Structure 1
Amino acid sequence: MVQHILTPTDGSDPSIHAIEQATEIANPSDATIHALAVIPEMTRGAKAQEEWDERVTDALERAHEIADREGLEYEQAKLNGPVAREIVDYATEHDIDLIVMGTHGRSGLHRFLVGSVTRRTIETSPIPVVTVPPEE
């Protein structure tokens, strides 16, 4: 039975959609939602750090509102570092049963150059990862 679901968030529409899907999965077993926001290690400078901090704080607040609306237990964390690694490390350290995360639907050259946090998470996670495509 799923008791702890991790849903990474950056405040984007796909990550918010993933949180909504995670609450649907969590409801039958009354699982705890863990929202995780990771500030990428490439963030340099006080202004960029401040902007990311504000963005992820808003994202975590939104995640809390969604979990609260569904009456689910909620935990949150804000970390700095390589995003996929921080997601997998958090999941391992907190006995997470399932990771639910959004995809941005990128393809082609952009995906090749930028890489995919979701893909790297799937490749390195010892627990199941459910991907949620963007809403159309």
Structure 2
Amino acid sequence: MVQRILTPTDGSDPSIRAIEQAVEIAKPSNATIHVLSVIPEMTRGARAQEEWDERVADALASAREMIDREGLEYEEARLNGPVAREIVDYATEHDIDLIVMGTHGQSGLHRFLIGSVTRRTIETSPIPVVTVPPEE
């Protein structure tokens, strides 16, 4: 039975869809949802940091509201570093049963050059990962 679900968020539409899916998965077992925002390690400068801090605060507040509305337990965390590694490390350290995360639907050269956080998380996670595709 799933008792602890991790859903990473950056406030994007795909991550919001993932939170909605995590809530649906959590309801039957009354699982706790852990919401994690990771500020990428490449973020430099006071202005960039301030923008990320605001984005993360908004993303976490939105997630908290969605989860509270369903009466589920909620935990949140903010980390800095390589995003996929921080997701997997957090999941391992907190005995997470399932990771639910959105995909941004990137393809082609952009995905090849930049890489996909979701793909890297799937490849390195010892914990099952459910991916939620972008809305068509």
* TM value normalised by structure 2: 0.99
Tell me the residue number matched to 2:105: 105
Q: Deviations over 1:51-77 (max 9, x none)?
A: 001101100000101101111000000
What is the CA–CA distance in structure 1 between the aligned matches of 2:105 and 2:79, rounded to whole Å? Answer: 24
What is the CA–CA distance in structure 2 between the aligned matches of 1:59 and 1:97, rounded to whole Å? Answer: 22
What is the CA–CA distance in structure 2 between the aligned matches of 1:34 and 1:125, rounded to whole Å? Answer: 16
Tell me the residue number matched to 2:36: 36
Unpaired segments ≥5 residues, structure 1:
none
Tell me the residue number matched to 1:84: 84
Tell me the residue number matched to 1:114: 114
What is the CA–CA distance in structure 2 between the aligned matches of 1:124 and 1:99, rounded to whole Å? Answer: 12
What is the CA–CA distance in structure 1 between the aligned matches of 2:28 and 2:103, rounded to whole Å? Answer: 24
User: Percent identical across equivalent pairs?
Assistant: 87
What is the CA–CA distance in structure 2 between the aligned matches of 1:75 and 1:99, rounded to whole Å? Answer: 14
Q: Deviations over 1:80-114 (max 9, x none)?
A: 00000000000000000000000000100110111
The 3-state SS of whatever aligns with 1:135 is: coil
Map 1:1-136 to 2 at 5 A.
Answer: 1-136=1-136
What is the CA–CA distance in structure 1 between the aligned matches of 2:72 and 2:134, rounded to whole Å? Answer: 24
Question: How far did 1:115 drift?
Answer: 0.4
Aligned Cα RMSD in Å? 0.4
What is the CA–CA distance in structure 1 between the aligned matches of 2:26 and 2:135, rounded to whole Å? Answer: 20
What is the CA–CA distance in structure 2 between the aligned matches of 1:53 and 1:82, rounded to whole Å? Answer: 16
Return the letter of the residue paired with 2:24: E
Unpaired segments ≥5 residues, structure 2:
none
Q: How many positions carry a matched residue from both structures?
A: 136
Question: How far did 1:135 drift?
Answer: 1.1
The 3-state SS of whatever aligns with 1:92 is: helix
* TM value normalised by structure 1: 0.99
Return the letter of the residue paired with 1:29: S
The 3-state SS of whatever aligns with 1:79 is: strand
The 3-state SS of whatever aligns with 1:85 is: helix
Q: Which runs of 4+ in 1 moved over 3 A?
A: none
